[in-house]
Structure formats: C-alpha cells, structure tokens
Structure 1
C-alpha cells in the first residue's frame, strides 16, 4: 500500500433472516469510527444476506468490492467464514474474525488452513463462550489451525451489540 493511501477496511456482516442487517449491531459504528481515524472503511450490504452463500459472497468480494492484498477484512459470523474462504484464494493484509465457527459435521479437508494462514500477514479472532449460534469449540479449533491471536469472552453472546471498540484497537495496532 502506498504510504499516502488510506488503509482500507472492509466490514462483512453476518447473515440474517430479515433484511438490513448491515444497519444493525456494530457494523456501521465501526465504519464510522475507522473513517474518523482517517481510514477508508466500508460496511456494505451483501447480496443474499439470508443465506450468505459462498458462491455469491466470494465473487461479490472479488468483483464488486475488489479486495486487494493491502486490505484488512473484518467479518462477523457467516461474514467471518466468507473471509476464510476468500483467503483460500487470495492474499490480504489481515483479518479479524468475530464468532467464526463451522459445522462440526463438515469435513475438515474442505478447508485449506495452511493457505489461509499464508495469505494473511495477521489474524485475530473474537469469540464468547455464551454464543448461542457459534460453538466455542469450533472457534477455538479455527484459532488453533490458523494460529490466530484469540480473544475469548464469557459475556458477549454473538456480539450483537451497538459498538465494538476492541476491533478498533486491533486495527490501530496493525495500521
């Protein structure tokens, strides 16, 4: 990244049963906080927000948002999983995974953990043991496979909160 360029951060929301998830929780708050710090943060609405299919989200990241090697990606829940799938294909500067977990029935050989790790300069993860949607066991497993910096809480649920200052702290550390 050119020193004169602003650090671009792409915030990828999770899936939802009702439209407009990008306007709930901490996504737009984080976008605003990072832009105040002089970064180029975006929290776009993704197509297919109900099911978050890789076949739709990955091309959207590559073709519409034009993810680059110097971008930081922040993903929540299914957004975190989309980031992992994207990083099997391309390099990015760093990733932050919030409530990342995968179906324990899924074949682990479907994931290229080594490639994901080699395609990022750094990885940080956030999870809470009281998350009702994403297993802490699967999040810990991902952290172990990726050797990510792992932040575990006991009282954050699925991180469905209006703000998330911890992420700002992490991004400032790497920018």
Structure 2
C-alpha cells in the first residue's frame, strides 16, 4: 500500500529467513541488494538479525522499527520467516509496501517456528484495516526477474 500523504519509496530493507549465518553470504540476499544499489537515490539495507535461529517477533519487530527503521518510505523484502515478520510488522506500522518471498501462514508444525510467535493465521482478522495489505508472494525466480526488468527499464 503506497502512503497517501505524498511519501515516496526511497529504500528497501531485506529481512532474511531465520537460521542463516551471515546474511551477506546467504541465499540471494546480496544479489538483490547489489541490484537495488544500481537505482539512483535508492538505498537497500541488508543486516544480520538478532535472534537469528528462533526469530522471535518480540525481538525482530522492535529491531525492524528501531534499527532497520522500516517506515512509510520503505519496502520490506521478507523471505520465509522474514516474510512473516514483514506481515506482522505491517499490521501495526505503515510501510510503503512489502514483497513476500516464500511466505507461509502457520508454524509449519515446527517447534522453533512455534516459539517465534510470528504465526500469521490471524493477520487479516485482527481489525487493523488501516495498515492491512494484500500480500503478494514471489518465488525466487520471479523476484529476480522482477528486479532485472525493473532495473533495465530505468536505464
């Protein structure tokens, strides 16, 4: 959801899945950050998350607000449990938008996921409509294609 007060998109924050080591060396995160750095006047933040194994919402969501400074000029790119964190964050905070990669809507029957407190089975039933977004999910291939096309069209 784009902000209605004239704010513009100026940054992206990549929120990784839990269980990864150094995020710069994990999965596709650095590739996306490098692609986004090519856009003039645009910033992309990729940082190791606290509590990277359990990814508790009580730790991740305040970190997204205070340290990563996700706000109305930020699109959050969340992967796996990072996608769940993005949806939970957007329940109570205005952001420019979210991109969900390999998102899920339950604890997957996994004890570690259950501990995180990020189960989103109630995301759209909580009455907070002002920040509600329609999540759009991408596979990794779709995300790479999206960014490649977007960058090529700006040149």
CA positional deviation for 1:6: 6.7
For residues 38-77 of structure 1, the aligned pairs below 5 Å read: 38=40, 39-77=42-80
Structure 1 residue 12, shift from structure 2 partner: 0.7
Q: What CA distance in whole angstroms lies between the structure 2 residues aligned with 1:53 and 1:169?
A: 33
Cα RMSD of the aligned pairs, angstroms, is 3.4
> What is the TM-score of this pair, normalised by structure 1?
0.64
Q: Give 2:13's aligned residue.
A: 10
* Distance of 2:31 and 2:51 partners within structure 1: 22
Secondary structure of 1:100's aligned partner: coil
Higher strand share: 1
TM-score, normalising length: structure 2: 0.71
Displacement over 3 Å in runs of 4+: 114-118, 120-123, 169-172
- Structure 1: 5+ residue runs without aligned partners? 128-158
5+ unaligned residues in a row in structure 2: which ranges? none
Aligned 1:1-175 pairs, distance under 5 A: 7-16=10-19, 19-38=21-40, 39-101=42-104, 102-103=106-107, 111-113=122-124, 118-119=130-131, 123-127=135-139, 159=140, 164-168=143-147
Identify which of structures 1 and 2 has the higher relative contact order when contacts are C-alpha pairs closer than 8 Å and 6+ apart.
2
- The change in CA–CA distance for 1:43 and 1:171 in structure 2 (over 3 A counts) is farther
SS at match of 2:49: coil
Equivalents in 1 of 2:94, 2:58: separation in Å?
19
- CA distance in 2: counterparts of 1:51 and 1:84, whole angstroms: 17
Helix, strand or coil for the counterpart of 1:67?
coil
Q: Partner residue of 1:140?
A: none
- Give, in whole Å, the separation in 2 of the partners of 1:96 and 1:109: 16
For 1:126 and 1:117, the matched residues in 2 are separated by: 23
User: Number of residue pairs matched?
Assistant: 137
Residue 19 (structure 1) shift: 2.5
